[in-house]
Amino acid sequence: MHPVIQKTFGGLSLAYYFRNFVFGSVIGVIAIYTLMTDPEPVEFGFIAFAVVNTLLYPYSRFVYESVIGFIVGGNTFYPSSGIMLFTKLLTIGLCWAFAIFISPVGLAYLYWHHSSANDRT
């Protein structure tokens, strides 16, 4: 595998990528199914967009979780479960919808992180 691809797309652990890929796939399937129930034909462009966003969603979620981790730090919050579920679903949807724009930040960071890790050894 090419080193750039290994350092970027291979930068997340398989368990982390798979877990988030499953959540992204659920959103993608729901979006495509919703459009398929419409009498208008589904455009290939949207299906391609949904597939790309689903594949990039784990990297988008990585960026979101990194930013939230930086802001919150080691603090723990105990909101009501309804608010927490709503917030979680909202952020999952936003990260999926904007994955094509957010994930390049995560991929660039993973490339930098894994390149600098190789320089240290």
Residue at 75 is within a domain = yes
Tokens representing 42? 């589904």
Mean pLDDT by 10 residues, the chain (121 residues): 71 90 95 86 88 95 93 86 93 96 91 73 52
The residues, any chain, with a CB within 8 Å of residue 112's CB and separated by 6 or more, are: none
Residue at 121 is within a domain = no
Residue at 71 is within a domain = yes
Residue at 120 is within a domain = no
Residue at 41 is within a domain = yes
Q: Which domain, by its residues, includes 103?
A: 3-112
**pLDDT for the residue numbered 76:** 83
| Alpha-carbon distances of 80 from 4, 12, 21, 52, rounded to whole Å | 43, 31, 27, 34
Residue at 119 is within a domain = no
**Which run of H or E residues covers position 117?**
helix 99-120
**pLDDT for the residue numbered 8:** 73
**pLDDT for the residue numbered 74:** 82
What's this model's pTM, rounded to 2 decimal places? 0.85
Q: Based on the structure, what is the number of domains in the chain?
A: 1
Residue 35 near residue 42, CB atoms below 8 Å: yes
Residue at 118 is within a domain = no
The residues, any chain, with a CB within 8 Å of residue 11's CB and separated by 6 or more, are: 107, 110, 111, 113, 114
